[in-house]
Structure 1
Amino acid sequence: MADTVYQDVFNRIFTYLRESGVEMTAERYRSLLRLIDDAVADSGQSADIDRLMPLAMARLPDYFQLPVVAPPEAFPPIRRRSVGYVRPD
């Protein structure tokens, strides 16, 4: 059972990194394995995905440089008048 938990953690973080635009190289694979190994050590050798996954995700910035994505601006600009509130003249 523990093997599948560790594989699930690896797959989820790997997918997260790929979707974030991180190109996976041999060194980055090794970094991911070290990240999971450290998270397992911090979890007390727990094979519980609900305990291991947050520990692993919290360590991501220590191991990987993730791209910063700015949210798009609202368009059209929000105006008081745009939601139907108009002061009577």
Structure 2
Amino acid sequence: MSDKLCQQALDRVLVYLGDDGVELTTDACRRALRLVDTAMEKGAGPDLPARCISCIPDNFERPTEAFPDATPPLKRGRIGYD
């Protein structure tokens, strides 16, 4: 059972990192393996994948993106209603 949890945890970490814009280099994959290994030392219960995901910010520097404003600033006006 723990081997499937380990696989699931590693898969979720790698998918999460890839979706977050982290380049999955050899180094990043090895750090992901170490993250899962460290989490497994605390027990390989059913919450292992969630614990691994919660450790990502402590182990990876995730890219930051600046999102532009969706619309220009709103300018209020008066349309003549009394």
TM-score by length of 2: 0.74
Determine which structure has greater relative contact order: mean sequence separation of CA pairs < 8 Å that are 6+ residues apart, divided by chain length: 2
Aligned to 1:57: 53
Aligned to 1:10: 10
Aligned to 1:73: 69
Aligned residues: 81
Aligned to 2:44: 46
What is the CA-CA distance between 1:78 and the residue it aligns to?
Answer: 6.2
Percent identity, please: 35
Higher share in helix: 1
Which 5+ residue runs of structure 2 have no aligned equivalent?
A: none
SS in 1 for 2:23: coil
Which 5+ residue runs of structure 1 have no aligned equivalent?
A: none
TM-score by length of 1: 0.69
RMSD of aligned alpha carbons: 2.4
Whole-Å Cα distance in 2 between the matches of residues 9 and 35 of structure 1? 10
